[in-house]
Chain A
Amino acid sequence: MGDMGLTEVFLNESREIIGNLETDIVTLEENREDQEIINRIFRYFHTLKGSSGIAGFNVIYEFTHNLESLFDKVRSGDIAVNSDIIDILLDSIDWIKDELFSEGDLEDAGKIQAELTERINECMGFEPKVKDKSVDFLSEVGAYSGVGSSERYFKINAVFKEDIYSNGIDPLMVIEDLSNLGEVIVSNVDQKKIPDFYKMDPEKCYMSWEILLKTFYDEMKLRDVFLFVIDDNKIEIENVTDKYAEVKEHGYLTEKKLGEILIEKGILNDSDLEEIVEEQKSQKFKLGDIIVQKGLASTKQVDEALQEQDKIKKRLEVSTVRVDSAKLDNLMNLLGEIVIGQASLHRVSEDMDEEKAFLLKNSLYGLDRVTREFQEQIMSIRMVPIGPTFDQFKRFVRDTAHSLGKEIKLKVEGGDTELDKTVIEKIGDPLKHMIRNAIGHGIEVASERVAKGKPSAGTVTLKAYHQEGNVFIDVIDDGRGIPLAEVKKKGVAQGLITEDENSKDKILSLIFSPGFSTSEQVGDLSGRGVGMDVVKTNAEELRGTVEVKSKEGEGTLIRIKLPLTLAIIEGMLVKVGTSILIIPLLSVIETIQVKKDDYRTVEGKGEVILVRGEYISLIRLNVLFGIDAGIQNPWEALIVIVESNGERVGIMIDDLIGQQQIVIKSIDNFITTSRSISGATILGDGKVALIVDIHGLVEEIKNN
């Protein structure tokens, strides 16, 4: 993260925390007793408070302090979670978001803060500070947990992350807090990991502690001491009152996980596992092997469990590895340079004598394989699961549904589907529009739904999945569907289609036209006619497409199709006149030659060619792009048939040069107004070639 400023780090971190908070709070509303979520929310507020203090956001610091106090009470069970609290929390988060991320000064910020603070205090029972103290006092003397209970012994094993100091936590303080709770009987500091002096990084923590503590408190109280470190660090607390003198060796952490997974799946039970672990100690075999050997589970089951374990590990890594995204972009750019360099070597090989060319080409193919794999690896780093993006809409759905008096459930499927991070960043807005539409237009109010024999609560489903090198994102609602007749009427009235248009798909696709809305009244939410066209433009910016399917009375599905990656594509190099252009291979159906008889000019429609009984438009790129023309007669040229959104056109070219990986370099949008160009790339000989945007090209031709 090197040169990122403190403020920036704080803002990034806060954005993440706030996103998590929103999701958790909405989940909390549904599961009001879930102690885990309550604890998590408390921790989030605490972290937010801490880092805002460090970053100098004092207003946020004070405010989150209040929230933290409020949640402390929820945590200790003094206050039950109710809808008031949920509302306060959500409003507070809104305020924090405004305060942190809105540009310019907000006029009412102070007022809103005061109001919120008052509401928080009200919730806590008017005199938060005084009461706070008394509670602390009582628990400190053990009024709640400790009284009457006898002495307990705990073995605590605390292994901290090396970079714990960078989180602002000093392990020593934690250990000291712990020793305040009772008497430390044994304290072993493991110093094995401390490196040689000249290799030691003074900002890292190399030590771990093993402590035997005699205390009156219960385990919960002990865990509280580790509250802020227990998630990221290896903290084990074990009640050893019965056998406190017995010091065990370190456990089988990862293996135990495998066992746990098998237990969760119902394949093993606790006693089986204990037996196996015992056996493992003596035999030194892998746990999985023993299980299979004993016939307790099949190899397949164990493998599956191991995969799951891997997944869990991976997920943990996703949440812990943090890299400045600019570094990834740089890496990608560098790889792009390598690909270009290779293309240029391929070109050199063409001018060499046969024998040498053969040798060079052979080595180049080897190199190609490696770079392809290299590319896949870098891509996989750039890929992030869409789950968090989906989850953040929980809040949005809840709020919108409430404000419209509708009952709506949000269902999320395929949250672990991975997309390029750039796509994820840009997909949020379109998703929001689609969900808003589904709630506003699609789903009926409860009474209407019941009358139709549907469940009273509507469901909006967000679904993501991979298929054929593309990512699909579906937004599905089980509402009233799109009224086809009405859309047609509007479309005809606005001159977008003719009266005799009967294709259902064409009519439905009208909803993506700018300014198109069937809603009679203009609402706060939707109906202003903006929205769906934004979905379309955004998807197209990502080189994707949108389609809609709907059945009246049953529901609507809007499907966004996106390419897996934005940086490198397979392209076809074609020659037109003296120019070399690139057509994305995904759009290419076939390359053909036409007979003179199959070529016609149609009045008002331009030139067409007959391909297997179907007339398709012929496009001359030299005319469209204003470049030198090559071959003039279509029957002498090659025709590349391309498809976009089910529409086919034929592009006339002079020659086919070849197929290669294309590194997309974007072109600033002030350079050209043409929609037929999606970017440029650098060829092996160092020349710049433009990449044809088939989708834009088809649109542009339709509009002319």
Chain B
Amino acid sequence: MYENNVIKTAEVSRNEEVKQYVTFLVGEETYGVSVIKVQSINEMVEITHVPKAQSFIKGVINLRGAVVPVIDMRRKFNLPMKEYDSFTVILIVEVKGRLIGMIADAVSDVVSFPVSDIKTNINFSARVDTSAIEGVGMAGESLIILLDVDTFLDSEHLKESC
């Protein structure tokens, strides 16, 4: 899948802009976040619980000396909880200069899409507020929901969505 995309990228790159996404799994669904936004992909670490936080905020972690909040994507999408295992990862994304961790079931790939392949005006029922979706991309057979983390993890947005 990855190689195919690379070839495809090479063919179109002469005349079209290409966007790259880190894709990850939450439940049955594959999501993508622009590579530019992703700082690092970390394995699960101990999370310190924070009182009076919203349910999807799991707590805070130590990320190389910085205290970074982490949110559980399953909780955020109202999916049943699942034990964290060796595939569970924390994706550290940068949102408006701040770092936030997203707990996902697994990280899958880095995928490139020519801009024209990203469908932006699709009506579908997602678990996410549609304003937080950049678009939908197809990688082979599977559909990837591209999240706009700036909207999705905006502090106001996080406050409201409880």
Q: Which of B17-72 contact A (CB under 8 A)?
A: 46, 48-53, 57, 59-62, 65-67, 69
Per the bound structure, the CA–CA distance linking A625 and B50 in Å amounts to: 7
Is A294 an interface position by the 8 A CB rule? no
Is B119 an interface position by the 8 A CB rule? no
Per the bound structure, the CA–CA distance linking A627 and B49 in Å amounts to: 8
Cβ distance A561 to chain B, nearest Cβ, rounded Å: 27
Is A114 an interface position by the 8 A CB rule? no
Most buried by B among A626, A680, A688: A688
Is B98 an interface position by the 8 A CB rule? yes
Is B155 an interface position by the 8 A CB rule? yes
A672:B50 contact, CB within 8 angstroms: yes
Is B82 an interface position by the 8 A CB rule? no
Q: How many chain-A residues does the 8 Å CB contact rule pick out?
A: 30
**CB < 8 Å: which of A333, A672, A673, A686 contacts B62?**
A686
Contacts of B60 in A (CB 8 A): 667, 671, 680, 688
Given A682-B62, A688-B61, A668 contacting B98 (CB threshold 8 A): yes
A667:B62 contact, CB within 8 angstroms: no
Is B158 an interface position by the 8 A CB rule? yes
Contacts of A665 in B (CB 8 A): 66-67
Is A470 an interface position by the 8 A CB rule? no
Most buried by A among B49, B57, B155, B158: B49
A682:B50 contact, CB within 8 angstroms: no
Is B159 an interface position by the 8 A CB rule? yes
Per the bound structure, the CA–CA distance linking A125 and B152 in Å amounts to: 62
Contacts of A688 in B (CB 8 A): 48, 59-62, 67
Contacts of B65 in A (CB 8 A): 333, 336-337, 340, 682
A689:B48 contact, CB within 8 angstroms: yes
**CB < 8 Å: which of A668, A677, A689 contacts B69?**
A668
Contacts of A672 in B (CB 8 A): 50-53, 57
Instruction: Bin the interface of chain B by size.
Output: 20 to 34
Q: Which of B125-162 contact A (CB under 8 A)?
A: 155-156, 158-159
Is A676 an interface position by the 8 A CB rule? yes
Is A674 an interface position by the 8 A CB rule? yes
Cβ distance A216 to chain B, nearest Cβ, rounded Å: 63
Contacts of B155 in A (CB 8 A): 668-670
Contacts of A690 in B (CB 8 A): 48, 50-51
Given A682-B62, A686-B62, A687-B62, A671 contacting B51 (CB threshold 8 A): no
Cβ distance B27 to chain A, nearest Cβ, rounded Å: 24
Task: Considering the complex, give the chain B residue whose CB is closest to the CB of A687.
Answer: B46
Is A657 an interface position by the 8 A CB rule? no
**CB < 8 Å: which of B51, B53, B57, B158 contacts A627?**
B51
Which B residues lie at the A interface, using CB under 8 A? Answer: 46, 48-53, 57, 59-62, 65-67, 69, 98, 155-156, 158-159
* Nearest 10 interchain pairs by C-beta: A674-B52, A625-B51, A670-B155, A688-B48, A665-B67, A680-B67, A672-B53, A674-B51, A671-B69, A672-B50
